[in-house]
Amino acid sequence: MKIRYIVLLTLFSLGACKQKKKSMDNTTPLITDSNNEKITAENTLQNQIKAIKRSADEPLYYIYVNHEQCFFQVLVNDIPVYRYFIDGGMMSPIILNNYITHSGKQTITYRLYPQTKRTYGEGFNILTPYTKFDVKLYVRNNADTVNSFENQKLLLTHHAATKTDGKSFIGEGKDYYEYSIPFEAKVPYNLKVLDDSKDLTKIDHKELLKKVETAYQYFWDILNKKKQDEYFRLGFASNISQINSEYLDKDQIQNAINDELLVFNNPSFKLEPLANYTMKLYGHGKIVCLEQTSEDLRLKKRWAIWGKYKTSEGETRVNFTRLYLYIPKGKDTFEIL
């Protein structure tokens, strides 16, 4: 889940799908929490603010990418942080800190897909000789509010490999290409949550899928029934991790909570059925989620829990809820990363 920066997309028409019925007879919910305090919608802000830890040195890691003739996805330490399935270039940085849990070796992975749709001209079913993907990794001190950007440091530059001719993309003709870039990070926090969690690859696939489906249905019901207290309680530890890793301040936390409240306070918001998904493992097998299987570029590789709402101008928008689950060692229930 995390503190979300809500994704807004205009949808003109999306076909409805039948919702899969899940049994909710379990007496113990499959998503629990390990909070030291009782968290509610009313006290979540003050408790999140209490968790703020600021220092004089707050390294913020981010990348800029330059791409041509491809769509792409970026992962940090095998956890998706960004997807781009629209035409045109992008200028904004991709922040990496959210899944940099402690100092040491980190990995940036990019996955390239054919640009099947373009504003002008036909798209491509495969990656072309002219596919391009460049990465520049920077770090700056987030605590330096005056000279942070002026003093940012370029840590590495990467260009996607080419063939022996030095020009043609090495993945030409493929419908998928993946590459990982290692780098070292130094951060003032230690959030080794996944170090003490179970390896989900050791659980029978069908058993795990059934468990994840039940957990997702449970969380879907929380949103659908507007259970704010349960929502903020279950997501509290996840939010604290993001506050510490991205050095969020009081105003940023307040804005994020306001964004999260959209699904509860906007009367037009309606969840879509939980359907047409596939189970995905990330975090080297320690994180699980459900992702949409739709090839519609507006939905491709999005999270399975989502809904539509109307803006004050009458425009239809959508909201996706990120829900990454893991099982701490010694427990049988999921918690939210």
Give the SS3 label for residue 44: helix
- What is the torsional sign of CA 75, 190, 31, 49? negative
pTM of the model: 0.91
* Contact call for residues 11 and 318 (beta carbons, < 8 A): yes
Is residue 315 classed as helix, strand or coil in its secondary structure?
coil
Q: At what angle do helices 205-224 and 228-245 cross, to 10 degrees?
A: 110
Tell me whether strands 132-141 and 305-310 are parallel, antiparallel or unpaired. Answer: unpaired
Mean pLDDT of residues grouped by 10 in the chain (337 residues)? 44 43 60 97 98 96 98 98 95 97 97 96 96 98 96 98 97 98 98 94 98 98 98 98 97 98 97 98 98 97 97 95 97 97
Helix (H, G, I), strand (E, B) or coil at 253: helix
Q: Which amino acid is at 53?
A: K
- φ and ψ at 244, to 5 degrees? -75, -40
- Cα separation, 57 vs 308, in Å, equals 41
CB 111 within 8 A of CB 83: no
Ordered by start, the domain boundaries in the chain are: 44-53+192-336, 59-185
d(CA 142, CA 248): 10
Nearest residue to 212 (alpha-carbon basis) of 22, 82, 79? 22
Distance of alpha carbon 137 from alpha carbon 65, whole angstroms: 9
Burial of 313 (0-12, 13-18, 19+ CB in 10 A): exposed
Contacts of 222 by beta carbon, 8 Å cutoff, 6+ apart: 230, 231, 234
Closest CA to 276 of 297, 305, 318: 305
- The answer for 228, left when phi > 0, alpha when psi is -120 to 50, beta otherwise, is alpha
Pairing of strands 335-336, 325-326: antiparallel
Residue 314 carries which DSSP code? S
